[in-house]
A and B are shown apart, each in its own frame.
Chain A
Amino acid sequence: MKSFTYERAASPAEAAAAAARIAGAKFIAGGTNLLDLMKLEIETPAHLIDVNGLALDKIEATADGGLRIGALVRNTDLAADQRVRRDYGLLARALLAGASGQLRNKATTAGNLLQRTRCPYFYDTNQPCNKRKPGSGCAALGGFSRAHAVVGVSDACIAVYPSDMAVALMALDATVETVCADGTTRRIPIAQLYRLPGETPHVENVLESGELISAVSLPKPVGGAHIYRKVRDRASYAFALVSVGAIVQRDGTGRVALGGVAPKPWRVAAAEAELPRGAKAVTAALLADAKPTRENAFKLPLVERTLGAVLRDARA
C-alpha cells in the first residue's frame, strides 16, 4: 500500500472542500472496497478523508412521504429498518443478497454506490485495463469474460458494475444528494449518476472533484410486490451473474432493473411497457442492443428465465 496522510472530516462542506483542494485525496467510509483496492495499489490516494464522524447515519421520513437515507447508514441498518422492510422491500432484499454479514456491518450507502468493478483484469495489475490505466487496452476482450457485461459495453471496456443495492435504488427512482467542493448542494437522479464506459471507462460517474454524497432519498412508496432475485455461482457471498429487481403491481404493470449485465444498474423505460406481455418481451427490450461475448452470451437467456421466475413469484 502507498503511504497516505489521514484526517477526520468535521463537516460535509469541509470534507468536500478538502477533497477538492488536496491532490490525490479520497473519502473513506466503510473502507471495504477502497482498502481492498489500496492494498493492490489499484487505488493510491495520497490523503484519506474519513467521513465516518459526519452525522450522516440517520434514516428520516421526508415531507413528501418518502425516506432520506444518510450516506453513512450501514447496509445492515438500512436493510433492518422497519420502514424499508415494509415499504421498500426490494431495497432490503437487494442489500441482504450482497456480500456477508461482516461486510454489510461496515459498508455504507454512499460507499456501496461508488464501489468499483470486480473485473479480474482490473484487479490484476500485470494486465492491460483501460479502467485502471487509461489507454492500456482491455484484457477482458478476448480473455475470460464469463462474468462481464452484455449491454452498455464499449470497445474499451466490458466490465460489470457490481452493486446489488443500486439495482433496487434504480427501480425505486432514488435521488442522490451531494455537497460540492464550493459548499453548494445538488440532487442527482440515480439514473443519471453512472456513465457508460465509451472511450473513458475510468470515468464512472458524474460526480465532480471533491463532491461528497450526503444522502440518498426515496420517493413515497409505490406498493406492489417487491422482488429481488440474484443468480450466482454459490448460494451466498458471491456477486451476481444476473440479478433482477422488480416491483410488480396487481394489474401486471411495474418496474424492472437488472444487475450483473451492464456497466451500471440497467433499466429501460420501453421494456417496462412490455411487462404485461411477459418476460420474453421485456427481456427483448431490456437487452435490445446487447453485445455479448462468446463466454457470456448465456446471460441473455438467463435474464429472461430469471425475470420469468420473478414475474411468477409476483403473481403468487
Chain B
Amino acid sequence: MAKVSFVVNGEARTLDLDTRTTLLDALREHLHLTGTKKGCDHGQCGACTVMVDGRRINSCLTLAVMHEGDDITTIEGLGTPQKLHPMQAAFVKHDGYQCGYCTPGQICSAVAALDEIKAGIPSHVSADLTAPPQLTAIELRERMSGNICRCGAYSNILDAIAEVAGRTS
C-alpha cells in the first residue's frame, strides 16, 4: 500500500492504494468518478483519456502513486449537465456519439488536442515542421487517432471539434 495525494477536478484527494492501482482504477473504483471509461486497459483505445497538468494521457497506463501532487481533470471536471463545456455541448449538438462509451475520452482528448495546436506542437501530417500547425480537418483527424470509436461516429466527432476550433469542416 502507498499513500498518494493529488487534485482531481479542483478538489484535493488523498488515497491509500495498492501500488498496482492505475490512475484509471483510482478514479473509477476509489473516487467513483465513473465518467472516465475503461476500454482496452492497454493504451490502444483512448477511452480512459484524462488531463494531467493540462496534458492528455491514457489513465490506464500510469500508476496512481506516480501522480503525487498532480492536477487531474476528468470529464466530470470539464463541465456539468447544467453548465456544459463548449466541447461537450458541441458533441451533443453534432451527435458526436452513438453508444457514448468512447465519448468522455474523445472530449477530454479533443479539448487537449486543440490546446496542443495552440501551443504550436506539430503532428505527423503537418506539412512544414517549422511553421505553426494549421487547424485543418486532416490535422484534427490525425491528432484524434488515439481515440477509437467502435460505433464509428468519427465524422460527427470531427464536426463537433471543428466547431469548437472555430471553423466548419
Q: Which residues of A contact B (CB under 8 A)?
A: 1, 3-6, 8, 28, 30-32, 35-36, 39, 48, 50, 52, 76, 79-80, 82, 85-86, 89, 92-93, 96-97, 99-103, 105-106, 235-237
Contact = CB atoms under 8 A, between A and B. Distances in A.
B36 interface: no
Contact of A102 (B42, B56, B122): B56
A79 B49 CA distance: 21
Contact of A105 (B19, B46, B56, B120): B56
Interface in B30-74: 41-43, 46, 49, 55-58, 61-63, 65-66, 68
Given A3-B19, A31-B62, A39 B41 contact: yes
A102 B65 contact: no
Given A93-B124, A100-B147, A101-B116, 11 more contacts: A35-B61, A76-B121, A80-B122, A85-B130, A96-B124, A96-B126, A99-B146, A101-B123, A101-B146, A103-B146, A237-B146
Q: Is the interface of B mostly helix, strand, loop or mixed?
A: loop
B123 A96 contact: yes
Given A86-B130, A102-B146, A31 B124 contact: no
B61 A236 contact: no
Nearest to A38: B20
B22 interface: yes
Contacts of B57: 102, 105-106
Given A35-B22, A101-B116, A106 B61 contact: yes
B74 to A, nearest CB: 14
Contact of B58 (A28, A32, A82, A89): A32
Given A80-B122, A92-B122, A105-B55, A237 B145 contact: yes
B29 interface: no
A79 B124 CA distance: 10
A92 to B, nearest CB: 6
B18 interface: yes
A48 B126 CA distance: 38
A6 B68 CA distance: 13
A4 B17 CA distance: 12
Contact of B56 (A31, A93, A101): A101
6 contacts: A30-B61, A31-B61, A82-B130, A86-B130, A101-B143, A101-B144
Interface in B145-167: 145-147
B88 to A, nearest CB: 19
A1 B55 CA distance: 27
A70 B94 CA distance: 43
Contact of A6 (B2, B49, B144): B2
B132 to A, nearest CB: 11
A99 B123 CA distance: 12
